[in-house]
């Protein structure tokens, strides 16, 4: 599709990809899973990511390193973000399965704290980590 057409020229040009695609993240007060919200998150954190990974896996002449930011919400019992957590968990499973295979792609999957981004810049009183400092520390751990 369109994503494949857009990415094909980049396959030979790059060796690292930082995947920060995200819709606006919403909390949910219901105990029930919001299926439409879950599907939206899955499109970003699992489905589209897997399509991108598969495009790069087909090029066996290069090695690639991907950065897939996950969330510390997976380590917490946070029922307000269950759809987000479910989709991110699926994304992590995709990363794990790719990393366990012998292929040309390695994915670094840190569980990041909540950081100040355009997602939450207007939330008063939200405790966030300093974005640049956190990301720099993780990028320095990558084998670029």
Tell me the DSSP string of 31-53: SS--HHHHHHHHIIIIIHHHHHH
Statement: the pTM of the whole predicted model exceeds 0.85: no
Q: At 1, is the pLDDT very low, low, confident or very high (cuts 50, 70, 90)?
A: confident
- Whether residue 144 is predicted with pLDDT greater than 80 in this model: the reply is no
């Amino acid at each position: 599709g369109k994503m494949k057409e857009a990415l094909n020229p980049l396959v030979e040009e790059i060796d690292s990809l930082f995947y920060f695609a995200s819709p606006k993240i919403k909390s949910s007060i219901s105990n029930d899973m919001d299926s439409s919200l879950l599907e939206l998150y899955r499109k970003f954190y699992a489905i589209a990511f897997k399509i991108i990974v598969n495009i790069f896996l087909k090029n066996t002449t290069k090695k690639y390193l991907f950065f897939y930011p996950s969330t510390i919400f997976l380590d917490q019992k946070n029922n307000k973000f269950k759809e987000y957590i479910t989709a991110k968990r699926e994304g992590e499973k995709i990363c794990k399965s790719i990393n366990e295979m012998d292929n040309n792609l390695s994915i670094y999957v840190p569980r990041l704290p909540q950081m100040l981004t355009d997602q939450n810049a207007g939330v008063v009183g939200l405790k966030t980590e300093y974005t640049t400092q956190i990301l720099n520390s993780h990028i320095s751990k990558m084998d670029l």
